[in-house]
C-alpha cells in the first residue's frame, strides 16, 4: 500500500505515513502495483496539481498585465496633468510680468493718492468701531466727527484718483 499524500510505500500495519504523517485508511483504495515493478500508483494530488498549474500561471500573468496597464495609464495621466499645469503656470507668469511692468509705469502721485485713500478708509472704520463700543454720548460724538473727517478725506482721495486715471 502507498500513502495518498506523498506516495511513500507503507508497511501493512501503519496507521500514519512515516514520511508525511497522513492518516492511512483502514481499507486501502489503491491496489498494490503488480506488473509495474513496485512503482507507486499516480496520486490524485499530483494529478490535480498538474491540471491547476496552468490556470495559476495564467492568472499570475493576467494580474501582471493588468497592473502594468494601470500603471502606464496613471503615468500618462500624470504627465498630461503636469504639462497642462505647466502651461497654465506659464500663462499666469506672463500676466504677472505684464502687470508688474504696468505698475512700474504708474505715476508716483497715483500711488500716493491710492495709499492715502486706503489709510483714510481704514481710519474711518476704526473710529466708527470705537464709536459703537462706547456708551458715553460725548465720546461717541468725538469718534463720529473723526470718522467723518477721515471719510471726507477718502472722498477727496477718490476724486483725485479718478482724475489721475
3-state secondary structure of 2: strand
89 lies in the same domain as 128: no
Q: Are residues 160 and 110 in the same domain?
A: yes
Give pLDDT tens digits for 27-50: 544 454 444 455 555 555 555 556
Q: How confident is the model at residue 9 (pLDDT cuts 50, 70, 90)?
A: confident
Q: Are residues 98 and 111 in the same domain?
A: no
pTM equals 0.34
Task: Give percent helix, percent strand, percent coil of the chain, each to the nearest 5.
Answer: 70, 0, 30
Total domain count, the chain: 3
Query: Looking at 63, 81, 105, which one is the last position of a domain?
Result: 105
Is 46 a member of any domain? no
Locus of grid cell 484718483: 161
Residues 91 and 118 in one domain: no
Residue 100 CA: distances (Å) to CA of 34, 35, 90, 106, 115: 100, 100, 15, 10, 18
C-alpha cell at 130: 470705537
Q: What domain range is 3 assigned to?
A: 1-41
Amino acid at each position: 500500500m502507498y500513502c495518498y499524500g506523498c506516495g511513500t510505500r507503507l508497511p501493512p500495519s501503519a496507521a500514519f505515513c512515516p514520511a508525511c504523517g497522513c492518516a492511512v485508511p483502514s481499507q486501502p483504495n489503491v491496489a498494490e502495483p503488480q506488473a509495474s515493478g513496485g512503482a507507486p500508483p499516480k496520486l490524485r494530488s499530483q494529478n490535480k496539481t498538474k491540471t491547476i498549474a496552468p490556470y495559476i500561471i495564467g492568472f499570475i500573468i493576467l494580474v501582471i498585465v493588468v497592473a502594468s496597464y494601470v500603471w502606464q495609464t496613471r503615468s500618462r495621466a500624470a504627465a498630461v496633468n503636469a504639462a497642462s499645469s505647466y502651461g497654465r503656470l506659464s500663462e499666469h507668469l506672463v500676466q504677472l510680468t505684464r502687470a508688474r511692468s504696468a505698475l512700474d509705469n504708474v505715476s508716483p502721485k497715483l500711488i500716493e493718492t491710492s495709499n492715502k485713500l486706503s489709510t483714510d478708509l481704514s481710519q474711518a472704520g476704526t473710529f466708527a468701531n470705537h464709536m459703537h463700543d462706547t456708551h458715553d454720548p460725548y465720546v461717541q460724538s468725538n469718534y463720529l466727527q473723526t470718522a467723518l473727517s477721515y471719510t471726507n478725506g477718502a472722498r477727496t482721495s477718490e476724486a483725485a484718483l479718478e482724475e489721475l486715471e
